Amino acid sequence: MGKVLMTGAAGGVGRMMRPLLRERYGEVVLSDRAPLDDLEVGESFRACDLTDPKELAAMLNGVDRVLHLGGQSVEADWDTVLAANIIGLHNFYEGCRSAGVKRVIFASSNHAIGFYGRNRRLDVENRTRPDSRYGVSKVFGEALASLYADKYGIGTLSVRIGNIDDQPVDTRRLSIWLHPEDFLQLCAIGFEHPEIHNQVVWGMSDCARAWWDNAPAHRLGYEPRHRAEDHAATALKGDGAPDPVGDLFQGGGFCAQEFEGDMAKVMRS
């Protein structure tokens, strides 16, 4: 196995994943726009802005597999999302093609399907229903991964992440929570499973209240170790003020932002 790279290493998820990746792979290349000042043994750093093809080429040099967390991580104005998550992601995949990268873990999001009601149980074949400009960019990312897998042979596991944290902190997250150690297991499948070509899976741990059927991940050998219900007593006390829009949909507050739609029609769709 060649070098493993993680982009977006300075973010919250990146910092959770760093020690887990080091433990499994020994050496990890980290990247973000600004340097990290806390590198550990087994880590190296390469600064990169996804909008700069030359920096991308330097970042990907000698790399075989990438956990791609980089980009805009929450809702933002269109120009910001466009630059980081659409133009930047296209640059990233072109860089991977030029560098000979074989595997990518693409950090997709539950916000690609956020406008489904919480009364719906989904599999990955349900059509996408993004709840935000950010969600649109994740739908684009899954489509781009499909193109680069079929046309250029870059195998990608797109993980529609619910919420990564040490434990679920409210009722919604009891349905979508993903422990970092379970995310590492999904990353290992994406990097190491011989049959990965282009696959979308749900990024969740063992969630008894799940809205998603994660059969494709289980067929690849995924066996989450962490149970959301172990934290239910605490999580059920963590809800904030009622949200008349967000509380209806899987995407939560992202759905409520700027909402001017016909609620009845959205719920029937």
Dump pLDDT digits (tens) for 28-57.
999 999 899 999 999 999 999 998 989 999
Q: Is the pLDDT of residue 135 over 90?
A: yes
Backbone angles phi, psi at 79, to 5 degrees: -60, -35
The fraction of the chain above a pLDDT of 70, given in percent, is 100
Single pTM value for the model:
0.97
The pLDDT mean for the chain works out to 97
Residue 1 confidence (pLDDT): 61
Which residues does the annotation mark as catalytic? Answer: 134
Answer whether residue 117 shows pLDDT above 90: yes
In whole angstroms, how large is the CA radius of gyration of the chain? 18
Domains (range + CATH), the chain? 3-268 (3.40.50.720)
Determine the Cα–Cα distance for residues 176 and 116; give it in Å rounded to an integer.
14
Q: What is the mean pLDDT of residues 181-186?
A: 98
Q: What is the rounded CA–CA span in Å between residue 134 and residue 86?
A: 10
Burial environment of residue 16 by CB neighbours within 10 A (0 to 12, 13 to 18, 19 or more): middle
d(CA 198, CA 139): 14
